[in-house]
Every structure is written in C-alpha cells, then in structure tokens.
Structure 1
Amino acid sequence: MADVLTTEQRRLNMSRNKGRNTRPEIKLRSALHAAGLRFRIHRRDLPGSPDIVFPAARIAVFVDGCFWHGCPIHGAKPKTNEEFWASKLARNRLRDHEVGLQLSGLGWHVLRIWEHEVRKDLPSVVTTLHEKIRDISEAARLA
C-alpha cells in the first residue's frame, strides 16, 4: 500500500510527536501520585532526562513509546523511507542502552516501561514500581 502523504507532510507529522509529557507518561504519573508515591519528572541533570525519578530510591523510569523505541510486540516498521527509519530506530535503541549504562554507573536503577504496558495494565505497572521502590529502599537500609 502506497503512502498517501508526501515526504514533507510525513516529516511534519513526525516532527510534531512529543518527547515528554506523552499521554502514557501522564497517565502513569497520575496513577503513581494517586497511589501515594512522590517523584520528580524530567531530571535534566541525569543522563537521558528520565521521565519519572524517585530520588531517595535512586530509580529512573522511562516510558518508552512502542514506535520510537522499537517495541518487539507493537513496533511498526514504516513503509516509506525505510532505510532512514531503520537507522533512526536503531540509534534510539542504542542511545537507550547507553543511557541505561550511564545511569547504572552513577548508582541508579533503571526501569523501562513500554507505553502498551501503561495502556493495557496500569495497576500492574504501579504495583511493580511500588514493589521495586520498597525493595530497593529496604536493601539500602540494610546495607
């Protein structure tokens, strides 16, 4: 099936996608706040500017979009300009890996959550985060 948009129209559409404060990110933040968890957002002093940060537990959370980060379940392959997009998405995955290594090297725990997880099972995501925070905080207390 041919793309009905011109290259310029496609470029304009893609450039309008937000990098922060996306719907899944806001939905997750609202649920975390309702569960009594307090956090910071988009800490620019940390590599990758994590979407959600729990400073006391040193947990950095990224809410990864299925398209932009190459979700193995929902990551769609564009049909136009395939070479460009394959390269772009590979660079995104490489950057995600490098940011994770940098944060780990600084003593942070990195959690990556797919946008489809937030959309399909938000309570489970909140429970998992709550448990991680508790486990890491308890381990730090015992150390």
Structure 2
Amino acid sequence: MPEKITKEQRSNNMRAIKSQSMLENAITKALWRNGFRFRKNAKMFGKPDISIKKYKIVIFIDSCFWHCCPIHGNMPKSNQEYWTKKLARNVSRDQEVNEYYQDNGWKVMRIWEHEFKQNFDAAVDSLAKFIRTNSVLKEKHPESLSED
C-alpha cells in the first residue's frame, strides 16, 4: 500500500519529533529535585538520556514504539517492510550501545516509558536506587539503600 503523504511531508513530520519528550523532562526534573546531578542527552555514544560521567552511569528511557516494547510495541499497518527494518535496527543499535558501555566499565540502565506511565514515582525511585547503587552516594547515604 503506497504512502498517503509525500516524502517531503514525511521528512517534515520526522524532523518535528523532539529529542526530548515531556515525559523525559518530568523524569529529569524529579531526579534533580531529589539531589541527583547529571547531563541530559550528552553527546556520547548512543546519546543516553541521562549520564553521570563521574560514576560511569548511563540511563536510557526507551519509548515503547521506537524500541519495540514486548508489551506495548506495535507495527504500523502501512509500509511494513520499512518499519520492520527500521525498528529491528533500533533494537540492534540498543544492544550495540549496551555492549559498548558495559565493555568500557559503565553501568547501563534501560527503562521503558510505560513504567513511568504506570507508576511515575516508583519508576523514578528505581532510577534513584540504580544511581545510588552504582555511585559513591551509597557510601555517603547507606540508609537510602535499605528500601528493599
């Protein structure tokens, strides 16, 4: 089935997609309010959503559509050949990025966007726990780790 919009219109649509979502901004604001300091969308390999170079921590907030969530990911009905190839490449790239950071001694966390939509506070808490566990913050605040 042919595309219903021109290549130029498709290009404009894709260009309009922001690199930061409102959800990502809400997440980073919540972490910042809790005292965590980090960089957003740093120009690093794979462009992590959150990075803390001092502790070698990278966090990716994966969209259910673009990263093929097993629960919420869906395949567009039009132009399936293109989308199958595109989304499979995204998943493959995610694995390459994970391996790159792990091979270089970094701690990597990937979290699905739907986890924030289901329970925002719990998802932010899991990010905070990941950061504390993998940084010297655990030495300064060991009581914050006893939330298990």
TM-score, normalization by structure 1: 0.84
Kindly state the Cα deviation for residue 59 of structure 1 after the two structures are TM-superposed.
1.1
Q: 1:103-114 residue pairs with structure 2 within 5 A?
A: 103-114=101-112
Any stretches of 5+ residues in structure 1 without a counterpart?
none
Partner Cα separation in structure 1 for residue 63 and residue 15 of structure 2: 15
1:8 to 6, 9, 15: 6
Residues 54 and 100 of structure 1: CA distance in aligned 2, closer, same or farther (over 3 Å) = same
Q: Aligned equivalents of 1:115 and 1:78: distance in 2?
A: 19
Report whether the alignment pairs 1:21 with 2:20. yes
1:138 deviates by 5.0
* CA-to-aligned-CA distance 1:17-38 (integer Å, 9 cap, x gap): 22x2112211110111111211
Is this contact kept in 2: 1:60–1:111, CA < 8 A?
Answer: yes
Q: Number of residue pairs matched?
A: 137
SS at match of 1:60: strand
**Greater RCO (CA < 8 Å, at least 6 residues apart):** 1
Q: Residues 24 and 63 of structure 1 are in contact (CA less than 8 Å); yes or no, is this contact kept in structure 2?
A: no
1:117 partner letter: E
Q: CA deviation at 1:139?
A: 10
Report SS of the residue matched to 2:134.
helix
**Secondary structure of 1:132 counterpart:** helix
Check if 1:41 corresponds to 2:40.
Answer: yes
- Is the contact made by 2:132 and 2:138 (CA closer than 8 Å) also made in structure 1? no
Q: State the alpha-carbon separation in 1 of the partners of residues 136 and 32 from structure 2.
A: 21
State how far apart, in whole Å, the 2-side matches of 1:16 and 1:85 are. Answer: 19
**Residue 96 of structure 2 aligns to which amino acid in structure 1?**
E
Percent identity over the alignment is 40
Code of the aligned partner of 1:13: N
| d(CA) in 2 for partners of 1:119, 1:8 | 34
Unmatched 5+ stretches in structure 2:
140-148
What's the TM-score once normalised by structure 2's chain length?
0.81
